[in-house]
Amino acid sequence: MARGQGRITLQDVADAAGVSVATVSFVANNRQDVRLTDATRERVQEVIDRLGYRPNALAKNLASGGSKFIGLVADAIATTPFAGQIIHGAQDEAWKHGYVLLVANTEGNEDAEREAISMMLEHQVRGILYSTWFHRETVVPTALREADFVLVDCFAPGADARAVVPDEQQGGRTATELLLAAGHRRIAFVNATTPSPAVTGRLAGYREALAAAGIPYDPALVLEATPDQEGGWEIADQLLALGVKAAFLYNDRQGMGFYDAARRRGLSIPEDISIVGFDNQEVIAAHLRPPLTTVALPHYELGAAGVRVLLGLEDASGETPLRVTCPPVPRESVAAAG
Amino acid sequence: MARGQGRITLQDVADAAGVSVATVSFVANNRQDVRLTDATRERVQEVIDRLGYRPNALAKNLASGGSKFIGLVADAIATTPFAGQIIHGAQDEAWKHGYVLLVANTEGNEDAEREAISMMLEHQVRGILYSTWFHRETVVPTALREADFVLVDCFAPGADARAVVPDEQQGGRTATELLLAAGHRRIAFVNATTPSPAVTGRLAGYREALAAAGIPYDPALVLEATPDQEGGWEIADQLLALGVKAAFLYNDRQGMGFYDAARRRGLSIPEDISIVGFDNQEVIAAHLRPPLTTVALPHYELGAAGVRVLLGLEDASGETPLRVTCPPVPRESVAAAG
DNA sequence: ATGAAAGCGCTAACAC
DNA sequence: GTGTTAGCGCTTTCAT
């Protein structure tokens, strides 16, 4: 077996079955629009199985025009688990439609990106998914325009590019509602310092949820910290000084840092303060003590929706990126208001 | 521009340049073994650029036999950042040699796996990297044998399969040495409960390091816990009861759990006890307080070495998997022995 | 109902 | 030096 030359071709099967390659092609592809006697079908199929024939996808694609590849360029496959989930979602969906994923990692390097896109173009990809590991605005690389493409987890205003992004505002609302539902009314929000769609979206969602609950917005309850463990740790004093019994943190990493700070002060979660994070970063959120209630960033769904949009199975026309829901992930860091 | 039919072919360039396709092919591939006048070269190149010709990789591969694809099947792209690093390493190395990565995610599902391998075979991959997200023994899927393949982060004893795995023993030794170097002599080791190459390897490395330092092995200093935060938390009492000032934990996740437990008891790291983890799981290790000193699992290198072995650039013959070094990652959780 | 043959875009002998 | 041409393995009219 193994490599290269020895492979069984359509011709081989045809010869062995005493039919033409056309006939074999028809049965191999199980084409119902061609009339073949059942006898022939069976006989040929039997030979195909016996010889262990495997179609050559390259030849197939060449002959039929248009390949079955979908390219996925990611900027940070290695650094976070997020990219992995996008890949996973994209792949599942692609396979469902008979496509195969060609992935390229650029780690943010522009040359690598250009090269990646170019390689995909050369492989006649059906289209390209251009993804970033965190939700942000981006500029469409010119080479991308040579293909059908959709932005995943990023967007380019006014660039006439289809895009799929997480619904940050709904996510912020959901996070806040998790606390509201437990009876809390004075809820703090620790936002991130970095301007980004997540920062504005989550804040908007927070305000929206409060408004819907008839709670006036109090800017004093909104703090800012870097979006990582250090930020959560450092904001602890300010947050605690607010005297709130509930807080929605920008992300799970801040949550982890805050947990440390709280424990250091002898405070317990959720008895002393209920916490809701964001991202649902498994390794962290699910294993903190207590496990952190959070809102998930739908990376898998983003990848899947990306190929759906690419394939025209779902609409995401024009200026408005398609927004994917961020679902709540209740765990144990929220307690009923005293 | 865009999709499908409109693409410029070799023929188009040939016509526009008034030469034959062969000539264009030669200059496009920059083949030095063919003598062409510089004039022709330049003229053709100019037309290529002007028309924006892009070779069709499918046709190229078909015509030349053997494709430029390397398949990578992973069992858990989505669940951990580890798979991402393997992909990244494999891709960088593959590109370096003109190959492109075809990735498939199976999430442990056997059907998905079979389908993935089959799809890769149909695409005439040069070979397949079969990877698992944690180091373990595996059985080679029969379909894999139809291709050239190498196991990455897993191995199959007696199955005549090339494999690349992390050097757990050296890793265990390195972790222990990190503590030894700080002057510690009574060093505990919290192993994992699950039998695995990592469990036996790291223990062996621990013992080896002690032996090399002339310290007798004391089985009482070796504990067991589940390889996660919960394990680290739960083993705290036992570990602390040992009265050691230094411990090497099975992984960073246990480290995170232990940090919690230590803080809860008012102990501080590394003053009260020095800790070394394993895995170098970024999100965790780099952001604990204090940042956790650990030993890295060389996933990137594993992926890269995998393609090198596949391409025959590196040897990994027979029964002995190629062992890749696990480098130390000193951070701040180790203090000099009092 | 099945076969013959013309490509798909490119590479690689082999001519001239 | 450069052009011709026969495939690579398959799909797809068009005959028969």
Q: What is the mean pLDDT of chain B?
A: 94
- Nearest residue by alpha-carbon distance to C1' of C6: A63
Nearest of B129, B121, B125 to residue B154 by alpha carbon: B129
Q: What confidence tens digit (pLDDT) does each residue in B131-146 have?
A: 999 999 999 999 999 9
How far is A84 from A80, CA to CA, in rounded Å?
8
How far is A206 from B206, CA to CA, in rounded Å?
51
**Residue B143 CB neighbour total at 10 angstroms:** 17
3-state secondary structure of B265: coil
- Encoding tokens for residue A321? 């990126």
- Encoding tokens for residue A274? 């209920």
Q: A157: cis peptide before it, omega within 30°?
A: no
- Percent of chain A residues topping a pLDDT of 90: 90
Interface test with A, best of B67, B96, B100, B253 (most A CBs within 10 A): B100
A328 forms beta bridges with: A295
How far is A279 from A286, CA to CA, in rounded Å?
11
Model confidence, pTM: 0.93
Q: Is nucleic acid strand C under 7 Å from A1's C-beta?
A: no
- Is residue A55 less than 8 Å (CB to CB) from chain B? yes
Q: What confidence tens digit (pLDDT) does each residue in B233-273 have?
A: 999 999 999 999 999 999 999 999 999 999 999 999 999 99
The tens place of each residue's pLDDT in chain A, 338 residues long, gives 333 456 899 999 999 999 999 999 999 999 999 889 999 999 999 999 999 999 999 999 999 988 899 999 999 888 888 999 999 999 999 999 999 999 999 988 999 999 999 999 999 999 999 999 999 999 999 999 999 999 999 999 988 899 999 999 999 999 999 999 999 999 999 999 999 999 999 999 999 999 999 999 999 999 999 999 999 999 999 999 999 999 999 999 999 999 999 999 999 999 999 999 999 999 999 999 999 999 999 999 999 999 999 999 998 776 689 999 999 999 999 999 97
Q: What confidence tens digit (pLDDT) does each residue in B162-195 have?
A: 999 999 999 999 999 999 999 999 999 999 999 9
Of B55, B81, B253, the CB nearest to A81: B81
Residues 23-42 of A with CB under 8 A from B: none
AA identity, residue B301: E
Alpha carbon separation from A81 to B10, B94, B108, B252, B267 (Å, rounded): 42, 22, 17, 16, 32
Q: Which nucleotides of C are covered by protein (CB under 7 A)?
A: 1-5, 7-14
Residues 161-220 of A with CB under 8 A from B: none
Buried b (16+ CB within 10 A) or exposed e, A224-237: bbbbbbebbbbbbe
How confident is the model at residue B3, as a pLDDT? 37
**Residue A126 CA to nucleotide D6 C1', Å?**
30
How far is B192 from B134, CA to CA, in rounded Å?
13
**Residue A256 CB neighbour total at 10 angstroms:** 27
- Encoding tokens for residue A213? 């609950």
Q: Is nucleic acid strand C under 7 Å from B64's C-beta?
A: yes
Of A59, A102, A148, the CB nearest to B100: A102
